[in-house]
Structure 1
Amino acid sequence: MVARVLRVGLLAGLFAGLLVALLQQVVTTPLILKAETYEAAAGTSGQAAATARTNDGHGHDGHAHDGHDGPHEHGDGWKPKEGLERFAFTAIATIATAVAVSFLLLAAMLMGGVAIDRRTAVVWAMAGFIAAGLAPAAGLAPELPGSAAGDLVGRQAWWAATAVATALALWLLARFDRPLVFVGALALLVLPHLIGPPHAHVFESKVPAELAARFAALSLVVQAVLWASAGAMIGYLWPRSTPSPDH
């Protein structure tokens, strides 16, 4: 069984990851590159303004704004070169994510005791997308470089809590047909959004709102394709994968 899970999870993740990596290169990567130009331009103008204020005697110790208004706020660490190198590193990260999604889907379906076929796997994959992608995006939409953001740890904690609460709510709605369970599931769906994620104190962005909105929408489409393709491949491979002799 372990060998079967590993084989199907790795193959499904590899296929879904490669597919989504190519899709990203067409639909979201150009938007990220465009946003980086706005971020760089805003950093250059901010540094110029800081220099002007310093020269006019309004700065503090001659370097009050250094490192805060420009692109250096995110650090000057190593980044892959544009083109093939950047695509390769992005593809590796995407494949790793797809493999993790595939193993998560397999584990959930095996623990749920369902018969794994293509239809069932895709349905579970769409539920996973709703829990891990769509529901958290209602409070924390996918963001481009240069977007305002709140506390990172707080946002990650809210995302994880929302994903778990939504997954549990969907499972309760699918498994039980009782009014009390229905009310509890709805409460789980709504509660994270009533609490809300941490946001930046000031809603400001270095990129145009239209660009940010388009990126958020396309990112959700890409996530949906990742989950659906992983589920479809699991549903195709699992019945055709011979169980290991120790099963």
Structure 2
Amino acid sequence: MFKHIMFSAALAGTMAALLLSLLQIFWVTPLILQAETYEAAAEAVFHEPTAGHAHDEAAWQPEDGWQRTLSTTGSNVVMAVGFALMLTGLYALRKPTGIWQGLAWGLAGYAVFFAAPAIGLPPDLPGTTAAALMPRQYWWLGTALATAGGLGLIFLQSRWPLRMTGLLLLLIPHLLGAPQPETAESLAPALLQNQFRWASALSNAVFWMVLGVLSALIFNRLQDKSE
């Protein structure tokens, strides 16, 4: 079972990560590069980092081109395999009956790790003001945990009091509200910001759906062969 979990996660995670990387290279990254031109122009005028994004000149960062592509792809693979391990670990406890259940688990992962946190803290382009890092991280983590618990109670429990508790868990982080900057500013145009948010949302949706389907398919194939 352990080998099935690890192999399914490694294979499904790598394949989904490569797809996500392609979507980012051809869709998301060009928007980031375009936004960075506005940030660079503003820094050239004011001779200092703007919009709350301070840069450490001594810190290494990948250059545009193959370095940035390899860095992004490598990060995506590590992230995707980690997420896939979570899914295949759940499959070991509750085996999916088909790819549709894998798709459902993938959509649940998308809701937990992207969609729900993005309601309060949407992905932003470089040059956008943001609240302090630690409050944002705490709110993101709390939202992910509340969403995971809420969805589990709603869809994995049959008793209505528990389902209503799950619904309340889904709402609590958004009723409390995410940390916001005192002044919301963005160097990039609003249209570019909206394009980036839609691109991020849709590319992550595709990633999670593919990850859910592939992990369930590979896990079931391995389980069927071992029986």
TM-score normalised over the length of structure 2:
0.92
Relative to structure 1, the CA distance from residue 30 to residue 69 in structure 2 (aligned partners, 3 Å threshold; closer, same or farther) is: closer
- 1:176 equivalent to 2:157? Answer yes
Q: Which residue of 2 aligns with 1:46?
A: 46
- Using the TM superposition, give the Cα deviation of residue 106 of structure 1 relative to its aligned residue in structure 2, in angstroms: 1.3
1:110-133, Cα deviation, whole Å (9 max, x unpaired): 33x233532211111101111111
Moved segments of 4+, more than 4 Å: 67-72, 242-245
- Using the TM superposition, give the Cα deviation of residue 108 of structure 1 relative to its aligned residue in structure 2, in angstroms: 2.6
Alignment of 1:118-137 (within 5 A): 118-137=99-118
Counterpart code for 2:60: W
Alignment of 1:108-187 (within 5 A): 108-111=90-93, 113-115=94-96, 117-187=98-168
CA distance in 1, matches of 2:38, 2:17: 29
Counterpart code for 2:68: R
- Using the TM superposition, give the Cα deviation of residue 232 of structure 1 relative to its aligned residue in structure 2, in angstroms: 1.3
Counterpart code for 2:44: T
Identity of aligned residues (%): 35
Greater shift in the superposed pair: 178-187 or 215-224: 178-187
Whether the 8 Å contact between 2:17 and 2:73 is mirrored in structure 1 is yes
1:44-68, Cα deviation, whole Å (9 max, x unpaired): 1122xxxxxxxxxxxxxxxxxxx55
- 1:241 equivalent to 2:218? Answer no
Select which of 25, 38, 56 maps to 1:75: 56
Q: Give the superposed CA RMSD.
A: 2.1
Relative to structure 1, the CA distance from residue 157 to residue 236 in structure 2 (aligned partners, 3 Å threshold; closer, same or farther) is: same
- What 5-or-longer segments of structure 2 have no aligned partner? none
- What 5-or-longer segments of structure 1 have no aligned partner? 48-66
Counterpart code for 1:132: F
Count of aligned residue pairs for this structure pair: 226
1:218-238, Cα deviation, whole Å (9 max, x unpaired): 101111111111111112211
CA distance in 2, matches of 1:107, 1:206: 43
- 1:101 equivalent to 2:83? Answer yes
TM-score normalised over the length of structure 1:
0.85
